[in-house]
Chain A
Amino acid sequence: PHFIISVPQKEDALCFNINENPGAVLNLIKDPVTGITVNGQLIGARRTSNEAKIQNTYFGKLGIANKHLDLKLTVTPEKITLQNGNEKSVFNWLDSINLQQEGLTLIINKEKNLVLSLGGGASFVVVLHQVWKKHPLHQDFLGLYVMDSHKLSEQTHGLLGQFFHPIDFNIVEIHPGSDPKKPDATMIVKNNELTVTRGWQKDYRKDTKHGLDIPCWFVHNSGAGLIDGVHTDYIVSSIF
């Protein structure tokens, strides 16, 4: 999956990819103060194409939980399961739902996306990516967009969560890269000097088919030097 980290104070964005094996569960957000945790499980192609050397992975399952509210939302491309205490509701992507409960709003836009707002805090948009059903290789997957992330606590961590509070970086020495449209540069961030490449990543919130290009500085090697630790530190044992 590709990560886009917005840096509003710089009017810019950072991005990186995480390449990990299908089946791995990654911790994306963990906020001990609000009790919110978001994990995602990776999927790959149904089977590996003969010529594909590197298998791309995507999120096939997302788990959003609020420990304080005893609330768990599991999202897959097939169904959406909301566990509210002992009460369990299952929806599918063909439903159009607007569910409002105390401290929780869940809106499912049929076959497109869902929006989950928890209390007055951050809200999460999960985008459904559908591929051609008879495609022998690819399968449906999910994207996660976090809005108003500043409403989570300063102690928030995780592959995405660590970037919810201001991050500073400097770009120097912009120079031609191997692709004429994508210059390389040196980025100074967290006392590291990283070689980064100007590129684009897609925002699929409005147009799930084509997406909107978001220019960003791409950090190579699974975000090494930008993320705290290494990406394997974020592998957890289960979706909740």
Chain B
Amino acid sequence: LVQFRNIKKRNADDVIINGIEFYSIKIDCRVTSRFAHNVITSRAVNRANISKEVIFDVDLPKTAFITNFTMTIDGVTYPGNIKEKEVAKKQYEKAVSKGQTAGLVKASGRKTEKFTVSVNIAAASKVTFELTYEELLKRQFGKYEMFIKVKPKQLVKNFEVQVNIFEPQGIRELEAEGTFITNELSDVIKKSFSGKKGHVSFKPTLNQQRTCANCSTTLLDGDFTIKYDVERGKPNDLQIVNGYFVHFFAPTDLQNLPKNVVFVIDISGSMSGREIEQTREALLKILDDIKGDDYFNFILFGSVVYTWKDTLVKATAENLEEARKFVRAIHTEGATNLHGGLMRGIEMLNTAYEKNIVPQRSTSIIIMLTDGQPNVGLSDPQQIQESVKKAIQEKYPLYNLGFGYGVDYNFLEKLALENKGLARRIYPDSDSAIQLQGFYDEVSNPMLSDVELNYPENSVSDLTNNNFKHFYDGSEIVVAGRIVDNDLNSLTADVKAQGADNDVTFIAQGDVKEITEALQEQEYIFGDYTERLWAYLTIQQLLEKRIAATGDEKENLTAKALELSLKYKFVTPLTSMIVTKPEDYDNQAGLADKPIEAEARSAPVTHQVSSVSSSYRLSAPPTWYTSVDGD
């Protein structure tokens, strides 16, 4: 989202508002093997005869890491500096000397966070803002999706979006659409793909941007989405470039694994009203999607724990009909016995396997929906985590859906991550039921379970996660690592998993020479993407593991993630970017942080100042020699 606000009345010339003209906005996206490198550049000039404030306002995906920002005023560049969070804050506080100030990046929506910088510039001065961010596009429902929010607040002489995609596997399909696209604008989107390359451009003229023929308001306001997929001739694709490898695994033509789903639903008093109505609505839709081979059950918890059936039942037409009646009758009562509900679900799944109620070769998941904090039964979060982890023993992934903002999202996230699942916030809005159903769709088609991707031990190091509880239809497993075998000519990966009928093995081989050469030819697209992809994925997984870790383990994970964030210049929850502005015109420094979901609010994120530790361990070197070397 690119948005420019200018206060006060409009100038007669409709591209100049309050003296400021944004004469160019360019959104340049380069995607290489799912790794997207995006640069947003906007140029403005102060046409007034006094100094004016110019605001640069961008919404970027939550999954992205900012990597760079620069502001150039009359040829002088003011770069953003990425530092460890506490150090950055200290420096920032020193720079502004005015106590707490809201950060430059705020959680702004379900999928986005907002980056805002404002600067005062002199009359006739020009300013160029350039923001760079990177993200690994995730495959969901058979497609990679990249979205760009477009929202200039005024007409822009040169507005363009350019997307270049390079996929070594070949591009199978490419779609581009915008929520603001009218019939007139639909021809402005140019889309083409052939072989490994895809291109999308959108460059409306001034007149095409107008809401009506003589209007000076812009109709560019909404999501611009690009979706694509690659050729799936092989289940594996192993790419080795510049000493790093990335392995994409997404087999097709597999049979669905039969699954057993336990829904653990919070019916405490706080769910009254719209929440419980939307829960009912979502569950009814989910019941329509449950496959005949699946087993399921509902567990409701208020102060007391209720179950629909004593055991898991097969999704026969009769059972589904009975379930619908049960769901329609769900009503709220009491407080929140979350632990009781979860334990009942786990026991039910254990019993189902022990008594052969469900097929031995089936996979099970627990989906919990709650809007509150536990206050009946075991209510200490730490104790609940320990108890649940002990009971699940990594057998069933636990997915936690946190309804609304009052929920203890930190706790739910820890609980899910410790048990091979994930947490998702459900936003209390008119489409909550669709959000719930959407989440179910993501996890409702497991094709493989206990997926293990193995590589020759002596050839690779610094592997990202290579064990996955499930592979879901339409998704993709990504593993990256570093090559340590200096003589490596090809890399072989061995993938083992449990399928619907038997255990399956896939072998993937990547030839170093061919791939390296092929990609060097394409370096203009994005040369060191494999290394940055590896760093991005490693940081993301370290941060995720850190959520559930404690003590020394947490410290080690934090240190590793911080080291990589600084090395690769990513703004992550551990780092901040200080934007130093020119000293004239009361400009102050700004601080860009990465908001985390557990803190997600519509209000701005504020910063606490904490001091830098002043004690250091000055350990001595172990041996005595004088040397010269390199690292």
Proximity string of chain B (472-505) to chain A, C-beta cutoff 8 Å, 1 when within and 0 when not = 0000000000011111110000000000000000
Given A2-B630, A129-B630, A178-B87, residue A215 in contact with residue B619 (CB < 8 A): yes
Distance in angstroms between the alpha carbons of A11 and B341 in the assembled complex: 61
Interface of B is mostly: loop
Whether the pair B242, A183 counts as a contact (CB closer than 8 A) is no
Determine the chain B residues whose CB is within 8 A of the CB of A143 once the complex forms: 627-630
- Residue in A51, A138, A146, A179 whose CB lies within 8 Å of B626: A146
Distance in angstroms between the alpha carbons of A133 and B243 in the assembled complex: 9
Distance in angstroms between the alpha carbons of A175 and B616 in the assembled complex: 10
Shortest beta-carbon distance from B143 to chain A in Å: 30
Whether the pair B624, A176 counts as a contact (CB closer than 8 A) is no
Verify if B516 is at the interface (C-beta below 8 Å from A).
yes
Proximity string of chain B (84-118) to chain A, C-beta cutoff 8 Å, 1 when within and 0 when not = 10110011000000000000000000000000000
Verify if B613 is at the interface (C-beta below 8 Å from A).
yes
Distance in angstroms between the alpha carbons of A174 and B617 in the assembled complex: 12
Determine the chain A residues whose CB is within 8 A of the CB of B486 once the complex forms: 130-133
Q: Chain B contact residues (Cβ within 8 angstroms of A): what range? A: 35 or more
Determine the chain A residues whose CB is within 8 A of the CB of B631 once the complex forms: 2, 201-202, 204, 211
Determine the chain B residues whose CB is within 8 A of the CB of A160 once the complex forms: 626-628
Among B87, B91, B242, B626, max chain A CB count under 10 A is at B626
Verify if B621 is at the interface (C-beta below 8 Å from A).
yes
- Residue in A51, A131, A174 whose CB lies within 8 Å of B616: A174
- Residue in A49, A178, A216 whose CB lies within 8 Å of B83: A178
Whether the pair B627, A203 counts as a contact (CB closer than 8 A) is yes
Whether the pair A11, B620 counts as a contact (CB closer than 8 A) is yes
Residue on A with the closest CB to B630? A58
Whether the pair A180, B612 counts as a contact (CB closer than 8 A) is yes
Whether the pair B624, A8 counts as a contact (CB closer than 8 A) is yes
Shortest beta-carbon distance from B171 to chain A in Å: 24
Verify if A214 is at the interface (C-beta below 8 Å from B).
yes
Verify if B553 is at the interface (C-beta below 8 Å from A).
no
Verify if B523 is at the interface (C-beta below 8 Å from A).
yes
Verify if A164 is at the interface (C-beta below 8 Å from B).
yes
Distance in angstroms between the alpha carbons of A215 and B623 in the assembled complex: 11
Verify if B325 is at the interface (C-beta below 8 Å from A).
no
Determine the chain A residues whose CB is within 8 A of the CB of B83 once the complex forms: 178
Number of A-B contacts (CB under 8 A): 134
Determine the chain B residues whose CB is within 8 A of the CB of A68 once the complex forms: none
Whether the pair B484, A144 counts as a contact (CB closer than 8 A) is no
Verify if A1 is at the interface (C-beta below 8 Å from B).
yes
Whether the pair A147, B625 counts as a contact (CB closer than 8 A) is yes
Shortest beta-carbon distance from A227 to chain B in Å: 12
Determine the chain A residues whose CB is within 8 A of the CB of B488 once the complex forms: 132, 134
Verify if A136 is at the interface (C-beta below 8 Å from B).
yes
Shortest beta-carbon distance from B91 to chain A in Å: 8
Proximity string of chain A (167-207) to chain B, C-beta cutoff 8 Å, 1 when within and 0 when not = 00000001110111101000000000000001001111000
Distance in angstroms between the alpha carbons of A176 and B90 in the assembled complex: 11
Determine the chain A residues whose CB is within 8 A of the CB of B527 once the complex forms: 49-51
Whether the pair B487, A133 counts as a contact (CB closer than 8 A) is yes
Verify if A118 is at the interface (C-beta below 8 Å from B).
no
Determine the chain A residues whose CB is within 8 A of the CB of B242 once the complex forms: 135-137
Determine the chain B residues whose CB is within 8 A of the CB of A11 once the complex forms: 620-621
- Residue in A129, A180, A201 whose CB lies within 8 Å of B86: A180
Verify if A141 is at the interface (C-beta below 8 Å from B).
yes
Shortest beta-carbon distance from B490 to chain A in Å: 11
Whether the pair A145, B622 counts as a contact (CB closer than 8 A) is no
Interface of A is mostly: strand
Distance in angstroms between the alpha carbons of A4 and B620 in the assembled complex: 13
Verify if A115 is at the interface (C-beta below 8 Å from B).
no
Distance in angstroms between the alpha carbons of A164 and B625 in the assembled complex: 9
Whether the pair A209, B484 counts as a contact (CB closer than 8 A) is yes
Find residues 51-100 in chain B having any chain A CB closer than 8 Å to their own CB. 83-84, 86-87, 90-91
Determine the chain A residues whose CB is within 8 A of the CB of B630 once the complex forms: 1-2, 56-59, 129, 141, 143
Shortest beta-carbon distance from B481 to chain A in Å: 13
Determine the chain B residues whose CB is within 8 A of the CB of A83 once the complex forms: none
Proximity string of chain A (105-143) to chain B, C-beta cutoff 8 Å, 1 when within and 0 when not = 000000000000000000000010111111111100101
Verify if A13 is at the interface (C-beta below 8 Å from B).
yes
Distance in angstroms between the alpha carbons of A135 and B86 in the assembled complex: 36
Find residues 41-92 in chain A having any chain B CB closer than 8 Å to their own CB. 49-51, 56-59
Whether the pair A176, B612 counts as a contact (CB closer than 8 A) is yes
Given A136-B520, A215-B619, residue A59 in contact with residue B612 (CB < 8 A): no
Whether the pair A180, B613 counts as a contact (CB closer than 8 A) is yes
Given A2-B629, A12-B621, residue A50 in contact with residue B523 (CB < 8 A): yes
Verify if B513 is at the interface (C-beta below 8 Å from A).
yes
Distance in angstroms between the alpha carbons of A198 and B242 in the assembled complex: 32
Determine the chain A residues whose CB is within 8 A of the CB of B619 once the complex forms: 215
Determine the chain A residues whose CB is within 8 A of the CB of B614 once the complex forms: 175-176, 183
Distance in angstroms between the alpha carbons of A120 and B622 in the assembled complex: 24
- Residue in A1, A5, A216 whose CB lies within 8 Å of B629: A1
Shortest beta-carbon distance from A21 to chain B in Å: 15
Verify if A219 is at the interface (C-beta below 8 Å from B).
no
Distance in angstroms between the alpha carbons of A1 and B627 in the assembled complex: 10
Interface set of B (CB-CB < 8 Å, partner A): 83-84, 86-87, 90-91, 242-243, 483-489, 512-513, 516, 520, 523, 527-528, 612-614, 616, 618-631
Known: A131-B243, A178-B91. 6 other contacts (CB 8 A): A6-B625, A127-B629, A132-B483, A134-B513, A143-B629, A144-B629
What are 6 A-to-B residue pairs whose CB atoms are below 8 Å?
A130-B486, A160-B626, A174-B616, A179-B84, A181-B616, A198-B618
Interface set of A (CB-CB < 8 Å, partner B): 1-6, 8, 11-13, 28, 40, 49-51, 56-59, 127, 129-138, 141, 143-147, 149, 159-160, 163-164, 174-176, 178-181, 183, 198, 201-204, 209, 211-212, 214-216
